[in-house]
Amino acid sequence: MINNWQAVQNEVLRRIHARLWKPGDFIPNEVDLADEFGCARATVNRALRSLADAGVLDRRRKAGTRVALHPVSKATLEIPVIRLEIEERGHAYGYALLDQETTTAPPCINAMMDVLPDTPLCHVTALHEADDKPYAIEDLWVNLTAVSQAKSIDFGNISPNEYPW
């Protein structure tokens, strides 16, 4: 009997790695897996959602769940909100926009962003302060082809770190 979603997830991964379920194969539905594992359907659903979010499974409503043909490796990066970080430490937060312009980037930025040298980018530089002392410099490049609204955002009123991209 499996009683938590992590255990269900581990068993599904074990079967995939053991090639019991190969890329492209449909896996049993949630009801059947819940019966097999002796747990709630919601537990199975949570495990399968997690694996789908990780790119291991491909889930289609009304079509079923299959092992991804080409599993995608996903990395999730948590970017802390600098204001909250400063305030949680008991300091007064300050923010100042230092520069905001539409320009082309240096070659190293173009390479990292995989854009052509003449691609216009939004470049924002801002200062975050704790108790009126410098805490962090924010240096942001935004591809305007991908995020066109960045051109019209006034980062003097909101830090790019807190903008709801």
Interstrand relation of 121-130 and 64-67 (parallel, antiparallel or unpaired): unpaired
Q: Is the pLDDT of residue 70 over 90?
A: no
Q: Which domains occur in the chain, in start order? A: 5-67 (1.10.10.10), 82-152 (3.40.1410.10)
Interstrand relation of 64-67 and 93-103 (parallel, antiparallel or unpaired): unpaired
The predicted pLDDT at position 74 comes to 62
pLDDT tens track for 17-30: 999 999 999 999 99
The predicted pLDDT at position 1 comes to 79
Residue 151, token pair as written in the block: 């051109």
Query: What is the DSSP track for 82-145?
Result: HHHHHHHTT--EEEEEEEEEEEPPPHHHHHHHT--TT--EEEEEEEEEETTEEEEEEEEEEETT
The predicted pLDDT at position 73 comes to 65
Q: Is the pLDDT of residue 36 over 80?
A: yes
pLDDT tens track for 103-153: 999 999 999 999 999 999 999 999 999 999 999 999 999 999 999 999 999
Query: What is the DSSP track for 8-27?
Result: HHHHHHHHHHTTSS-TTPBP
Q: Is the pLDDT of residue 75 over 80?
A: no
What percent of the chain has pLDDT above 70?
Answer: 97
Rounded to an integer, the average pLDDT of 70-86 is 82
Q: Is the pLDDT of residue 54 over 70?
A: yes
Rounded to an integer, the average pLDDT of 74-81 is 78
Taking the C-alpha atoms of residue 145 and residue 119, their distance in angstroms, rounded to an integer, is: 8
Give CA angle at 96 (93, 97), nearest 5°: 145
Is residue 165 within 8 A of residue 134, CB to CB? The reply is no
